[in-house]
Amino acid sequence: MWKIAPLNLGTLDMTMATLISRFGVANDVGRIVPSPLIAWLLTNLEDGRHILVDAGPGPEAERLSAEHNPVSIREDQLLTAALSVHGLKPEDIDTAILTHLHWDHAIGMLYVPNARIYLQKREFLYAVAPLRADHKFYEVCYKDRLPYFLRYYNRLILVDGDTKADEGVALVPLPGHTAGSQGVLVDTPEGKFLLPGDIVNTSENLETGIPGGVFNNTADVWASMEKIQQMIEKEGVTVLPAHDSNVFRKEGRLMSP
């Protein structure tokens, strides 16, 4: 059994159209919504081991704001500070999982130097040669620097499909937002929780059944949303959205501050 704690690693300005794939003038698609950048710390309740799920964008808010969307990161939202609340340093983490390789989830793994990182093989293969429209998401468009994920290539554990990462921690393919997106299914004393990555940005995605507005493949993203809905209805899984501030207060008995 595991405990799940969300780590607030900054704020990213997104448009409403990014958060939910619901278009049309009436839906105010251009409204800017400040959204949290969230990683997840799993703690084994029996032996105290830890797994980090995603790692945020790293500390370079000024550069990221210039090259992507506006980002703000306070000192207490740096990964080092967020982990210190739990008595940990980045060097203490030896196992990590990436839901996908987009910059706002994966650059931070550069600062977790000792972790082996679980990633879907399909995600890696796409990231090294993505469609041009996706170049900036993976930062493969710059001639003067290596893409961040190649700088920790030697620490990646590439998996293919459903995989057991640890006892009570399962990797579940959820392609669509990216080619190789995956969710993390976690056994807790309160039941099974799914960390779905950016296919579910906010609770509104779940309430409406409409995925986020950034996706790699339309058929995949809708199939993955249906898969998540089946997990909720048939297995009683609780889903924790990837960019929703409610996760810091919704499950108080489960989440740490």
**pLDDT per residue over 50-101, tens digit each?**
999 999 999 999 999 999 999 999 999 999 999 999 999 999 999 999 999 9
Q: How many helices (H) and strands (E) does the chain have?
A: 8, 12
Residue 164 domain-assigned? Answer: yes
**3-state SS class at 34:** strand
pTM attached to this predicted model = 0.95
Residue 61 domain-assigned? Answer: yes
**pLDDT per residue over 169-181, tens digit each?**
999 999 999 999 9
Measuring CA to CA, which residue among 59, 54, 63, 26 is closest to residue 177? 54
Residue 253 domain-assigned? Answer: no
Q: Which CATH number characterizes residue 199's domain?
A: 3.60.15.10
Residue 257 domain-assigned? Answer: no
**3-state SS class at 245:** helix
**Domain total in the chain:** 1
For residues 229 and 28, the model is more confident at: 229
For residues 253 and 47, the model is more confident at: 47
Residue 249's pLDDT band (cuts 50, 70, 90): confident
**Which of 70-74, 175-179, 218-222, 247-251 bottoms out in mean pLDDT, i.e. has the lowest?**
247-251
Residue 191 domain-assigned? Answer: yes
Residue 231 domain-assigned? Answer: yes
CA angle 93, 96, 100 (to 5 degrees): 145
Q: With the C-alpha atoms ordered 224, 227, 228, 229, is the resulting torsion angle positive or negative? A: positive
pLDDT at site 250: 55
